[in-house]
Amino acid sequence: MFDTFPLWPTRASTTAGSVDALFIFLVTLSALMSLVIFTMIMVFAVRYRRRKGVAAEQIEGSTALEVTWSVIPLFIFVVIFVWGAVIYFKERTPPRGATEVYVVAKQWMWKLQHEEGQREINELHVPLGRDVKMILTSQDVIHSFYVPAFRIKQDVLPGRYTTAWFRPTKAGTYHLFCAEYCGSQHSGMIGQVVVLEPAQYEVWLSGGGASGTMASNGQNIFQQLGCSTCHRSDTQGRGPDLVGLFGKPVQLEDGRVVTADENYIRESILTPGAKVVSGFKPIMPVFQGLVSEEQLNALVAYVKSLNPSPSGAAGGPTVVPSGAKPQEPKVQ
Amino acid sequence: MATAAITAERENYLNQEYGIKSWLLTVDHKRIALLYLLSITFFFFIGGFFALLIRLELLTPAGDLVQADTYNKLFSMHGQVMIFFFLIPSIPAVLGNFLVPLMIGAKDLAFPRINLLSWYLYIIAGVLMVHCMLTGGVDTGWTFYTPFSTAFSNTKVIEAGLAIFISGFSSILTGLNFVVTIHRMRAPGMTWDRLPLFIWAHYATSIIQLLGTPVVAVTLVLVVLERALHLGIFDPTRGGDPLLFQHLFWFYSHPAVYIMILPSMGVVTEIIPCFCRKRIFGYKFVALSSISIAVFGFLVWAHHMFVAGISLYAALIFSALSYLVAVPSAIKVFNWTATMYKGSITFSTPMLYAFGFVGLFTMGGLTGLFLAALGLDVHVTDTYFVVAHFHYIMVGGALMGYLGGMHFWWPKISGRMYPESLGRLAALIVFLGFNLTFFPQFILGYLGMPRRYWQYPPEFQVLNVLSTAGATVLAVGYLLPMVYFLWSMRYGKVAPDNPWGASGLEWMTTSPPPTFNFDQPPVVNWEAYDYEHIPAPQEARSGG
Amino acid sequence: MADSPIAVEHHNPALKHHFADMEQQREASSLGMWLFLATEIMFFGGMFCAYLIYRLWYFPDFGAASNSLDITLGAVNTAVLICSSLTVVMAVRAAQLGKRQQQVIYLALTLVLGLAFLGVKAVEWTSKFKEHHIPGPTFNFEGSIPSHPDQPVDQHHAQIFFSLYFAMTGMHALHMVIGVGIFSYLLYHAWKGTYTPEYYTPLENSGLYWHFVDIVWIYLFPLLYLIDRKK
């Protein structure tokens, strides 16, 4: 019966448990508060219903009471706020070393690509017990990546990256919804997330017809577009050296310091004039409209792979071996 | 006090002049209130019809009753009509228009002609909206999110945007009139701490209308310009930022929720003391809570955007402020409850609606705590949980208050009593139908059903069927009062001047009031809710 | 009329029936006007907010686009508007003192200055049109960043500047046009002698409106014309 009429969503990620805990706390609290208020109303309604010869007693009010029922709720609210904020911080901070999936949303479909190179449409295969970071962008309007079983949701915006992450805790197939209204087939923009046991995942991964990792694809594009003529690893290049750039602070020509995250790399490819690195001339051509979202993702993945990686999980070494083996999933 | 027979014959605002011109060119706030009543009822039934079609479509998981595009237009126009053409004008423009001058002892609002102008603006906006619906409609949702609305939708976004722009000015002018009237037109002796709390609520509402509406107006202008001329202000492919639109939109549209709920709170604050025969508990705190809701309401808009891509720290601040705005709402609920303590309570229709209001508003408010909790909001935002939450506030709250107020003041407005037992029955049907419609949606939302879905996975069907069943019950509950109100205008018992034994200046004039409200300019030398000195109405009436 | 006709003492013909006396009527109108101006501030506020955000993001491009505006014409218009605010005050003063002829002269001057402003604005917009600085498919902005002559301006960012420029100055000009309408009406009534030292509320309130429109321009001028003008 519960398959056709569930009353509680499946709990299939590490976040789901903490969100449910807060939810249960709030349901209990609300039930208690409603119970108190509704009981008082009922009791007063019966006890003080109009009776002959009994007049109402005029009461002005009571400052002490008012303060009490302002301060106590406020105190409870602070507890809820802190609890909610702690969960939110965890939801919004992808752990280091998460495997990365690039998501491009468009009306009305999800296009996903694993950093190992596999592409999927409206379907996402992930290994059990491994942190997965989604890097999302949209080709047209705003969408929202929503997996109820993981209790995660993140709007997907055109023209920039947003991120989300999860760690599946239960194998199975779960709904993937678009949760931000996006036009005619909004309700058709659905898919599924398949959580596989690590061994099965390995099988799935090797079965797909991936042509090289995203980073190696990105490297090819990097060569084809001629980026490598200026962005060289020696100091002779007319553009900044990209090795070890990702995640580091960058000193800009106008004095600002920004962190080289995905959005910075994206912007620097599309509109290079926006944030010029200190000591360099704004001579790089604009690539807005010249590269597709998928190519852009590959370029970003390539630039990220140029980092000598500390954990060995996010991307390979400086020189990307083509057709790199998928990394071993971490121990659960 | 005049006897009923004489009251019925004497000259009042309804029978002083006849003819269509005497209505369309009237500057009498009471007649303008009735013009508004007719117009918003018309739009309520349009919006309700859309709602019914939505519920029927959702009876089955497949999209089988209407096309996807039609469904999208239905929920978009349901939202736009219900919010901008029904809820926002509902209590302020009908009951507020009728009662604000009466309650403070003025002959009219400060600017009667501007009042009429605001109704005409509303009608122009309404005609434009109806034209938009008849020639294809709009499918952006009531939220007009960019870049969908500016670059992708191929429906009549410009027309709908202009209609809402114009209706906004109608709302601004109403608010402006109220603030000036409340400041400058009070009768001698009607000090600020003697004002009925209905007036305080309208004062707070008007401030939001004055300061919030222009922002959404200019935002819609920019959307219209961007769509027509391809400006690029909200379009990421042209360097613009779609989140800027959301900020500007919610800067108004969150406070707009308080435009809808504050007047209802005002209504309930009049009804409860009257049927408890008692002063309101904590007058000053109830009055101040209205003002603080209006002020804090302006500082919480980004809690609609926790998953939209705003920064972590912005989200923290807006979450914290959202809890702050919950405190004054809680204060109100506690004060209403405390007012019943040691009262002498009767259960006429308005009081039943007031009970319903307190119950549903409490549930709506408590589920607001869920949505303001950052980590939880990520899961439930943009699902049916949100849909259920805001319907508890805006239908369970605002609409229950509106109906309660209509029953409470109907004798004053029409000079006739509505049938009491039918009234109680309707209140009960509305309450049950409402809960059956919207409570299942909380569960649907937590299960993960996204809002604005034309078709949905089959496991959500049982709850959707319950909701649709509730909607039909609710529809009966809304039709019933309309029928008996109309009936009572002709066949209802003639109303005495003060059928409820209520305090407030509006009950000291005749029912219906004369054109200039009072035969003698009133002078106030008593406190608000002075129920100790007002006799309760006769026992005989309560049988209905 | 429900009012007893006998009891009304010294009934000013301008007193509306629902006010107790002239003072109440004047205070109500004045408060109404101030509230209306508050809504106007919020109305322009939305656009100012959008402007400030993009100016922060795209400062170099905004500087370049701003430099293409004609600072002389902008400055002349600022002066014209400030003068017109003065003439409005003088007109109100004349009404308070009951000097009809002065009222008419100052109001006429205000009208002339208002029209002069709109004329200059029209000249500016025409040149923008010729230079293809009107946002839309034909938009084209040649130029480079003021501090980096070798860096070309981002077309999209310049277009956002001009979108906001036209939205803000356009909305301001619309207010000016309405103001000119109001002042023509006032001029007609001043000439007929409607405004007396007892009753000049319309004049005073329209004056407030005019000052408001003036102040908006005083903010628009530096924001739009004077960024990154290091020469």
Which residues touch B326 (CB under 8 Å, ≥6 apart)? A73, A77, B365, B368, B369, B372
Q: Which of A10-19, A33-42, A313-322, C136-145 is the least confident region?
A: A313-322
- In the predicted model, is pLDDT for residue A256 greater than 90? no
CATH number for the domain spanning A183: value is 2.60.40.420
pLDDT band, residue B544 (cuts 50/70/90) = very low
Model pLDDT, residue C3: 43
Report the sign of the C-alpha dihedral through residues B194, B195, B200, B206, in that order: negative
Q: At what angle do helices C71-97 and C201-225 cross, to 10 degrees?
A: 160
Which of C36, C40, C42, C62 would best serve as a mutation to test chain B binding (most B beta carbons within 10 A)? C42
**String of DSSP letters for C57-73:** HTHHHHHHHHHTS-HHH
pLDDT band, residue B317 (cuts 50/70/90) = very high
Model pLDDT, residue C122: 95
**How is chain B split into domains, by residue range?**
20-528
Chain A CB within 8 Å of residue C98 CB = no
Model pLDDT, residue A147: 96
Across the interface, whether the CB atoms of C17 and B516 are under 8 A apart is answered yes
- Let me know if residue A6 belongs to a domain: no
Q: Is C226 helix (H, G, I), strand (E, B) or coil?
A: coil
Model pLDDT, residue A310: 52
- Let me know if residue A35 belongs to a domain: yes
* CB nearest to C160's CB, from B215, B218, B233: B233
Do A153 and A123 share a structural domain?
Answer: yes
- Mean pLDDT of the B268-287 span: 95
Whether the model clears a pTM of 0.90, i.e. scores above it, the answer is yes
Chain B CB within 8 Å of residue A107 CB = yes
Do A218 and A299 share a structural domain?
Answer: yes
Residue A136 belongs to domain spanning = 99-207
Model pLDDT, residue A127: 95
Nearest CA in chain A to B371: A84
- Mean pLDDT of the B249-263 span: 94
pLDDT band, residue B37 (cuts 50/70/90) = very high
Do A221 and A203 share a structural domain?
Answer: no
DSSP letter (8 states) at residue C146: T
Model pLDDT, residue A285: 84
What is the C-alpha to C-alpha distance for residues B32 and B18, in angstroms, rounded to an integer?
Answer: 15
pLDDT band, residue A322 (cuts 50/70/90) = very low
- In the predicted model, is pLDDT for residue A311 greater than 80? no
Residue C60 with chain A: CB contacts under 8 Å:
254, 273
Domains and CATH numbers, chain C: 44-225 (1.20.120.80)
Which tokens in the block code for residue B108? 């009219």
pLDDT band, residue A213 (cuts 50/70/90) = confident
* Nearest in space to B373 (alpha carbons), one of A22, A11, A165, A145: A22
What is the C-alpha to C-alpha distance for residues C172 and C155, in angstroms, rounded to an integer?
Answer: 25
Model pLDDT, residue C231: 57
Chain B CB within 8 Å of residue C32 CB = yes
Residue A287 with chain C: CB contacts under 8 Å:
none
pLDDT digits (tens, 9 = 90+) for A45-69: 999 999 888 888 888 889 999 999 9
CB under 8 A, 24+ apart: contacts of C53-58: C53/B241, C53/B244, C54/B233, C54/C157, C54/C160, C54/C161, C54/C164, C55/C223, C55/C227, C58/A274, C58/B239, C58/C154, C58/C157, C58/C160, C58/C161
Radius of gyration of chain B (CA): 23
| Residue that terminates a domain, selected from A207, A236, A253 | A207
Chain C CB within 8 Å of residue A86 CB = no
Q: At what angle do helices B349-372 and B242-276 cross, to 10 degrees?
A: 150
Looking at the complex, report in whole angstroms how far the Cα of residue B235 sits from the nearest Cα belonging to chain C.
Answer: 10
Q: At what angle do helices B68-80 and B157-184 cross, to 10 degrees?
A: 10
Q: Are C164 and C50 in contact (CB under 8 A)?
A: yes
DSSP letter (8 states) at residue C148: E
Which tokens in the block code for residue B74? 């239905």
Residue C46 with chain B: CB contacts under 8 Å:
214-215, 218-219, 222, 248, 251
User: How far is Cα of residue B191 from the mean position of the Cα atoms in its chain?
Assistant: 27
Looking at the complex, report in whole angstroms how far the Cα of residue C167 sits from the nearest Cα belonging to chain B.
Answer: 8
Do A34 and A71 share a structural domain?
Answer: yes
* Nearest in space to B94 (alpha carbons), one of B175, B31, B47: B31
Across the interface, whether the CB atoms of A274 and C152 are under 8 A apart is answered no
Domain count, chain A: 3
- Let me know if residue A150 belongs to a domain: yes
Model pLDDT, residue C81: 95
Nearest CA in chain C to A276: C151
- In the predicted model, is pLDDT for residue B457 greater than 50? yes
- In the predicted model, is pLDDT for residue A300 greater than 80? yes
What is the C-alpha to C-alpha distance for residues B399 and B407, in angstroms, rounded to an integer?
Answer: 12
Model pLDDT, residue A331: 38
> Which ipTM was obtained for this model?
0.92
pLDDT digits (tens, 9 = 90+) for B488-505: 999 999 999 999 999 999
Do A178 and A119 share a structural domain?
Answer: yes
Across the interface, whether the CB atoms of B222 and C50 are under 8 A apart is answered yes
- Let me know if residue A330 belongs to a domain: no
- Give me the residue label for tokens 């303060």: A67
Which tokens in the block code for residue B224? 């219209």
- Let me know if residue A188 belongs to a domain: yes
Across the interface, whether the CB atoms of C42 and B215 are under 8 A apart is answered yes
Q: Distances in Å between the alpha carbon of C46 and those of B156, B240, B417, C52, C125? A: 24, 15, 48, 10, 23
CATH number for the domain spanning A264: value is 1.10.760.10
Which residues touch C63 (CB under 8 Å, ≥6 apart)? C145, C146, C147, C227, C228
- Let me know if residue A5 belongs to a domain: no
Do A201 and A113 share a structural domain?
Answer: yes
Model pLDDT, residue C101: 92
Across the interface, whether the CB atoms of B376 and A57 are under 8 A apart is answered no
- Mean pLDDT of the B183-206 span: 95
Model pLDDT, residue C123: 95
Looking at the complex, report in whole angstroms how far the Cα of residue C156 sits from the nearest Cα belonging to chain B.
Answer: 5
- Mean pLDDT of the B297-324 span: 94
- Mean pLDDT of the A146-173 span: 95
What is the C-alpha to C-alpha distance for residues B356 and A34, in angstroms, rounded to an integer?
Answer: 13
The CA-based dihedral angle spanning residues A123, A124, A128, A133, taken in that order and rounded to the nearest 10 degrees: -150
Which tokens in the block code for residue B443? 């569960």
Quote the mean pLDDT of chain C: 89
Do A74 and A30 share a structural domain?
Answer: yes
- In the predicted model, is pLDDT for residue C144 greater than 90? no
- Cα–Cα–Cα angle for B285, B290, B292, rounded to 5 degrees: 90
Model pLDDT, residue A278: 84
- In the predicted model, is pLDDT for residue B445 greater than 60? yes
What is the C-alpha to C-alpha distance for residues B223 and B230, in angstroms, rounded to an integer?
Answer: 10
Model pLDDT, residue A309: 57
List the beta strands (DSSP E) in chain C: 144-145, 148-152
Model pLDDT, residue B4: 46
Looking at the complex, report in whole angstroms how far the Cα of residue B173 sits from the nearest Cα belonging to chain C.
Answer: 9
Q: What percent of chain C has pLDDT over 70?
A: 94
- In the predicted model, is pLDDT for residue C212 greater than 90? yes
pLDDT band, residue C1 (cuts 50/70/90) = very low
pLDDT digits (tens, 9 = 90+) for B411-437: 999 999 999 999 999 999 999 999 999
- In the predicted model, is pLDDT for residue B540 greater than 50? no
Q: Which of A229-233, B93-97, C198-202 is the least confident region?
A: A229-233
Do A290 and A258 share a structural domain?
Answer: yes
Q: What class, spelled out in words, does domain B20-528 have in CATH?
A: mainly alpha
Looking at the complex, report in whole angstroms how far the Cα of residue A319 sits from the nearest Cα belonging to chain B.
Answer: 34
Quote the mean pLDDT of chain B: 93
Which of A10, A65, A80 would best serve as a mutation to test chain B binding (most B beta carbons within 10 A)? A80
- In the predicted model, is pLDDT for residue A286 greater than 90? no
- Give me the residue label for tokens 């039943």: B352
Q: Is A121 helix (H, G, I), strand (E, B) or coil?
A: strand
Model pLDDT, residue A136: 95
The answer for A 7-66 residues in CB contact with B (under 8 A) is: 7-9, 15, 18-19, 22-23, 26, 29-30, 33-34, 37-38, 40-41, 44-45, 48-51, 54-62, 65-66
pLDDT band, residue B263 (cuts 50/70/90) = very high
Amino acid at A34: S
Q: Which of B90-99, B157-166, C153-162, C214-223 is the least confident region?
A: C153-162
Do A275 and A202 share a structural domain?
Answer: no
Do A218 and A202 share a structural domain?
Answer: no
pLDDT band, residue B538 (cuts 50/70/90) = low
Quote the mean pLDDT of chain A: 86
* CB nearest to C39's CB, from B183, B185, B214: B214
Nearest CA in chain C to B518: C2
Which tokens in the block code for residue B236? 């990421």
Across the interface, whether the CB atoms of C148 and A271 are under 8 A apart is answered no
Q: Are B371 and A81 in contact (CB under 8 A)?
A: no
Pairing mode, strands A152-156 and A143-147: antiparallel
Model pLDDT, residue A86: 96
- Cα–Cα–Cα angle for A252, B312, B258, rounded to 5 degrees: 125
Model pLDDT, residue B9: 58
What is the C-alpha to C-alpha distance for residues A314 and C175, in angstroms, rounded to an integer?
Answer: 58
Q: Distances in Å between the alpha carbon of A69 and those of A61, A73, B143, B336? A: 13, 6, 35, 13
- In the predicted model, is pLDDT for residue C7 greater than 60? no
- Mean pLDDT of the A181-204 span: 94
* CB nearest to C39's CB, from B172, B184, B239: B172
List the beta strands (DSSP E) in B58-109: none
Across the interface, whether the CB atoms of A146 and B139 are under 8 A apart is answered no
What is the C-alpha to C-alpha distance for residues A214 and A212, in angstroms, rounded to an integer?
Answer: 7
- In the predicted model, is pLDDT for residue A122 greater than 70? yes
Task: Give me the residues paired with residue A111 across strands.
Answer: A104, A121
Across the interface, whether the CB atoms of A84 and B148 are under 8 A apart is answered no
Q: What element of type H or E holds C140?
A: none
Do A84 and A110 share a structural domain?
Answer: no
- Let me know if residue A328 belongs to a domain: no
pLDDT band, residue C148 (cuts 50/70/90) = confident
